[in-house]
A and B are shown apart, each in its own frame.
Chain A
Amino acid sequence: MYKLIIKINVVGKLGRVWIAYMPTQLVWDKRFFVVFGQNASRCSKQVASPKSHGGEKLIRCLVIGSACSHSHPLPYLEKKKVYFLARSISLLSSLSFPLALSSPTNHLYSLAAMSIFEYNGSALVAMVGKNCFAIASDRRLGVQLQTVATDFQRVFKIHDRLYIGLSGLATDAQTMYQKLVFRHKLYQLREERDMKPQTFASLVSALLYEKRFGPFFCQPVIAGLGDNDEPFICTMDCLGAKELAKDFVVSGTASESLYGACESMYKPDMEPEELFETISQALLSSVDRDCLSGWGGYVLLVYAALLTPTEVQEKILKGRMD
């Protein structure tokens, strides 16, 4: 893929690919895209050498053809070819994201490309203690580098003893949650009982794998109390590969820092208060190192004691608000 930053006039869109037109004709590259515009020779050099713009990692594919009525129709490009090219490129780039921020002047700035999983930013962690578990998330919702909300909910309740956190693309997280609630409610009505955490994890995995070739871009973290009040946590990737853990699981843009923090702070068989402290510290210190997540934290602790009903504590944490 060629990598470049280019200012173009948007005139149309086919799927995930922008079709635009620039005043003068330039280069026809049969493999990936057509570049049109001013400063043709410079652009073509840029196309050829990605290093010229500071080595930024961009994945962009642009097909620029004459889709606009006031443009000059290209003599050697028929509309069908353009469409075809657009489709094939959009398939190739199915996981890359054309980051389009249209400004009022109708110019399109394609910015630093992020992976789809980093579009909104998230941090999730779940930990196991003694007859208790805790699940925590950050509260930032962003659109790339701009923060849009500071109270975004990522941890959702399925039933009293089962919670799921969803990181990754926020829209997919919300849709996944709605689908799971739907399935669980039907399960409850049919089987007249709540789903066990292990069963729920299998269900999530199956649902994610159903979309194997056009996945939901979210990574769930599941935490619940199973039989005999045994805490259960697991995570999986966006395609449903389950990872069961006995101690902690992490997910989101801050996952690398979270792994480090949890690994060093975690002790087995912690009491609820200690677990709460540990998970809060791990979360806050990790999101401080990640620009895409943060703006406080939300911790949910579920504790099962003999002879008392399951206790649930929810706390909002105040960390670095940036």
Chain B
Amino acid sequence: MGDSQYSFSLTTFSPSGKLVQIEHALMAVGSGQTSLGIKATNGVVVATEKKLPSILVDETSVQKIQLMTPNIGVVYSGMGPDSRVLVRKSRKQAQQYFRLYKETIPVTQLVRETATVMQEFTQSGGVRPFGVSLLIAGYDDNGPQLYQVDPSGSYFSWKASAMGKNVSNAKTFLEKRYTEVMELEDAIHTAILTLKEGFEGQISGKNIEIGIIGTDRQFRVLSSSEIDDYLAEVE
């Protein structure tokens, strides 16, 4: 494969027109834990597996789903530390926007800024691309929105999406189950069922994480007891 000669330098195109480092970054994402998001008519839900490396890890200290602003939340698949850097930068950009315009940043603008950061790391010297894909969920004047941002810096708006290990099964499941008129509660149930599809082991409130945002425009992460309640409803 002629590509392999070009696979070490990020800023060099391969003859087939690919930047091989970005492909590898996508592989890193693809081997990360599954996460998914569903956009409902009155909100958005994002969910992820929270498989910890050992039972000795204090699971209350780990939170994969984070807030970028009070009305925009994000979940990732891939390398956790990379996502922390991105969340930090995006939070700062959201606050800079507010400082300039005294208006909360629209979701599209924040997604665009985050994607720009990710793209910069594919065209600079001495850096590597981020090894995460982000699912950004928010609610602003344009209603509920769900965006996926890839290591290459491209972003798409999704009605429902999944990423990580079990992505193909999850997406097929979502394609079957998704309806345009889904409400937030239905979306949460669908999200749990999708996660259950590829889950190894016993699913419980302690090894998945769910974040929701509704018409109140406050993004919040559900507590493990709330997740257990939803799990009971689903069964």
A: residues with CB less than 8 A from B are 190-191, 196, 198-199, 202-203, 206
Contact = CB atoms under 8 A, between A and B. Distances in A.
Given A191-B106, A206-B99, 6 more contacts: A191-B108, A199-B101, A199-B103, A202-B101, A203-B101, A206-B100
Contacts of B109: 190-191
Contacts of A196: 103
Interface in B76-121: 99-103, 106, 108-109, 112
B114 to A, nearest CB: 14
B106 A198 contact: no
19 contacts: A190-B109, A190-B112, A191-B106, A191-B108, A191-B109, A196-B103, A198-B102, A198-B103, A199-B101, A199-B102, A199-B103, A202-B100, A202-B101, A202-B102, A202-B103, A203-B100, A203-B101, A206-B99, A206-B100
Contacts of B106: 191
Contacts of A199: 101-103
Contacts of B101: 199, 202-203
A149 B220 CA distance: 60
A198 B104 CA distance: 12
Interface centre among B99, B102, B106 (most CB of A within 10 A): B102
Nearest to B99: A206
A267 B173 CA distance: 64
Secondary structure type dominating chain A contacts? helix
B1 to A, nearest CB: 40
Contacts of A198: 102-103
A196 B104 CA distance: 13
Contacts of B108: 191
A190 B100 CA distance: 15
A186 to B, nearest CB: 12
Contacts of B102: 198-199, 202
A202 B96 CA distance: 12
A191 B108 CA distance: 8
A190 B99 CA distance: 18
A36 to B, nearest CB: 51
Contacts of B103: 196, 198-199, 202
A95 to B, nearest CB: 27
A42 to B, nearest CB: 56
B209 to A, nearest CB: 32
A234 to B, nearest CB: 12
Nearest to B112: A190
A63 to B, nearest CB: 41
Contacts of A206: 99-100
A42 B103 CA distance: 62
A209 B109 CA distance: 24
A202 B102 CA distance: 6
Contacts of B112: 190
B141 to A, nearest CB: 9
